[in-house]
Amino acid sequence: MVARTAWRISDGFDRYNQDFRRITARAKKRFVARDWKGQMADIARRVELYEQWAQRTVKHLHNELGEEFADHQLWEAVRDYFGQRIEEIPDAGFAKTFYNSITRRVFGTRGVDTAVEFVQPPPEEGITSLTMRCYPCWGDLDAVCAALLDDFKFSQRHYADAGSAAAYIARTIRENTEAPLTDNDCHRLEFIDTHFFQGTRAYLVGRIRTEQQTHPIVVALCNTDTGITVDAVLTTAKQIGVIFSYTRSYYFADPTSVVAAVQFLHDLLPRKPIDELYTVLGRLRQGKTERYRTLIKHLHKTDDAFVHAPGEPGLVQIVFTLPSFNLVFKVMRDVFRPPKTTTHDDVHQSYRLVSRHDHAGRLIDTQHFRNLQLPRNRFSDEIFAELMKEAPRTVSIDGDQLVFKHAYVERRVRPLNLYVREVDEQEGTRAILDYGRCIKDLAETNIFAGDLLLKNFGVTSSGRVVFYDYDEVSLVTECNFFELPEPDEDYPLMDHSMHRFVGPQDIFPEEFIRFLSMPSRLRAEFLTAHRDLLTAEYWRDVKSRRLTGEVAEIVPYVRQSVAAHRIEL
Q: Which residues are catalytic?
A: 365
Peptide bond into 121 cis (omega under 30): yes
Q: Which residue type is seen at 73?
A: Q
Helix-strand-coil split of the chain, %, nearest 5: 45, 20, 35
The end-to-end CA distance of the chain, in Å, is: 52
Distance between CA 3 and CA 11 in Å, rounded?
12
Q: 368-382 burial by CB neighbour count: b if 16+ within 10 A, else e?
A: ebebbbbeeebbeee
Helix (H, G, I), strand (E, B) or coil at 72: helix
Distance between CA 208 and CA 532 in Å, rounded?
45
**Are 92 and 61 contacting, i.e. CB atoms less than 8 angstroms apart?**
no
Contacts of 114 (CB under 8 A, 6+ apart): none
Which whole-number Å values give the CA distances from 407 to 350, 351, 366, in the listed order?
14, 11, 10
Angle, vertex CA 506, rays to CA 502 and CA 512, nearest 5: 110
Paired strand residues for 217: 206
Distance between CA 89 and CA 259 in Å, rounded?
12
List helix spans (H) across 391-495: 416-422, 425-444
List helix spans (H) across 322-450: 344-355, 381-390, 416-422, 425-444
Contacts of 550 (CB under 8 A, 6+ apart): 566, 567, 568, 569
Closest to 357 in 3D by CA, of 250, 241, 274, 476 = 250
Closest to 333 in 3D by CA, of 417, 399, 404, 397 = 404
